[in-house]
Amino acid sequence: MSHDAALILIGLSVFQLKHFFCDFVLQTRYQFKNKGYYGHPGGLLHAGLHGIFSIPALLVFTHRPMTIIILVVGEMIIHYHTDWLKEQIDRRNNWTYEHAPYWFVFGGDQVVHQFTYLGIVAILTGGLLPL
């Protein structure tokens, strides 16, 4: 395996672990119940934790402070709005875990988060942006 391929796999693995911990271990009821209220501190806290805990994954690729700050803020904005939209869709349709569409929306939410990590890695490894 090439050095570049190993670097990408390590970085993506760190993102996966971070996502698991932030979305399923560290997420509190306060965060979960309030992500659907735009601007609520619970949703902002949740997105903020995702941003902060992304720093180890970003450090796999770069040590440039401005690059890390830009990508952390970008991820937080995407994560926050993805979660907020998911909650809006579920609430407006009265979908809960007992309804099949709830799981489609939940899966879509998770896919957006995973593509965010792929996009970040693409930016850092493919020179998509001059950061």
User: How many whole angstroms separate alpha carbon 37 and alpha carbon 80?
Assistant: 11
CA–CA gap between residue 103 and residue 101 (Å, rounded) = 5
Q: Decide if pLDDT at 4 tops 90.
A: no
Using DSSP's 3-state secondary structure scheme, residue 94 falls into: coil
Mean pLDDT of 96-110: 97
Contacts of 40 (CB under 8 A, 6+ apart): 34
Please report how many Cα atoms fall inside a 13 Å half-sphere around the Cα of residue 4, on the Cβ side: 5
* CA pair distance 24, 41, nearest whole angstrom: 18
pLDDT (mean) for 96-117? 97
Q: 3 or 102, which is more confident?
A: 102
Lowest mean pLDDT among 33-37, 69-73, 107-111, 127-131: 127-131
Which SS3 state, helix, strand or coil, does residue 131 take? Answer: coil
- Report percent pLDDT > 70 for the chain: 96
Task: Report domain extents, the chain.
Answer: 3-126
Instruction: Tell me the average pLDDT of the chain.
Output: 95
Q: What length does the chain have? A: 131
Written as six digits, the tokens of 119 are: 């996009």
Asked if residue 82 has pLDDT above 80, the reply is: yes
